[in-house]
Amino acid sequence: MFLVTGGAGFIGSNVVAALNDAGHSDVAVCDVLGQDGKWRNLAKRQLADVVPPAELGDWLKGRRLTAVIHLGAISETTATDGDLVIETNFRLSMRLLDWCTANATPFIYASSAATYGDGERGFDDDASVEALKRLRPMNLYGWSKNLFDLAVAERVAKGERLPPQWAGLKFFNVFGPNEYHKGPMMSVLARRFDDIKAGRVVQLFKSHREGIADGDQRRDFIYVDDVVRVMMWLIATPRVSGLFNVGTGKARSFRDLIVSAYGALGLEPNIQYVDLPEQIRGSYQYFTQSAVDRLGRAGYNGGFTRLEDAVGAYVTGFLDRADRYR
Q: Which residues are catalytic?
A: 141, 182
The response to whether 112 counts as a known ligand-binding position is no
Q: How far is it, in rounded angstroms, from Cα 146 to Cα 267?
A: 42
- What is the C-alpha to C-alpha distance for residues 199 and 262, in angstroms, rounded to an integer? 10
* Residue 11 assigned as binding residue: yes
- Has 158 been labeled as part of a binding site? no
Spell out the residues 6+ positions from residue 88 whose beta carbon is closer than 8 angstroms to its own.
53, 72, 73, 74
For the chain, the first-to-last Cα distance in angstroms comes to: 22
Can you point out the beta strands (E) in 114-209? 166-171, 173-175, 202-205
Using DSSP bridges, classify how beta strands 2-5 and 67-70 pair: parallel, antiparallel or unpaired.
Answer: parallel
Determine if residue 32 is labeled as part of a ligand binding site: yes
14 is in an annotated binding site: no
Residue 74 annotated in ligand binding: yes
**Cβ–Cβ under 8 Å, residues 188 and 202:** no
The reply, when asked if residue 196 is annotated as ligand binding, is no
Exposed/middle/buried for 275, CB within 10 Å: 0-12, 13-18, 19+? Answer: exposed
The answer to whether 177 and 326 are in contact (CB under 8 A) is yes
**Dihedral sign from CA coordinates of 277, 186, 80, 138:** negative
Total residues belonging to the chain? 326
**Is 283 annotated to bind ligand?**
no
225 marked as binding residue = no
212 labeled binding residue? no
Check if the beta carbon of residue 4 is closer than 8 Å to that of residue 27: yes
Ligand-binding site membership of 284 (annotated): yes
Q: How far is CA 228 from CA 18, 70, 231, 281, 291, in A?
A: 7, 13, 5, 33, 18
171 is in an annotated binding site: no
Q: Which residues have CB under 8 Å from 171's CB, separation 6+?
A: 11, 110, 111, 112, 113, 222, 227, 246, 247
108 marked as binding residue: no
Residue 38 assigned to a binding site: yes
Q: Does 137 belong to an annotated binding site?
A: no
Confirm or deny that 182 is annotated as ligand binding: yes
The answer to whether the annotation marks 72 as part of a ligand binding site is: yes
For residues 27 and 29, give the distance between their C-alpha atoms in angstroms, rounded to a whole number: 7
Neighbour count for residue 299 (Cβ, 10 Å): 10
Q: Is 205 annotated as a binding residue?
A: yes
The binding site consists of 10-11, 31-32, 38, 71-75, 145, 173-174, 182, 184, 205-208, 219, 284
Binding residues for substrate: 173, 184, 205-208, 219, 284
Q: Residue positions in the annotated binding site for NADP(+)?
A: 10-11, 31-32, 38, 71-75, 145, 174, 182
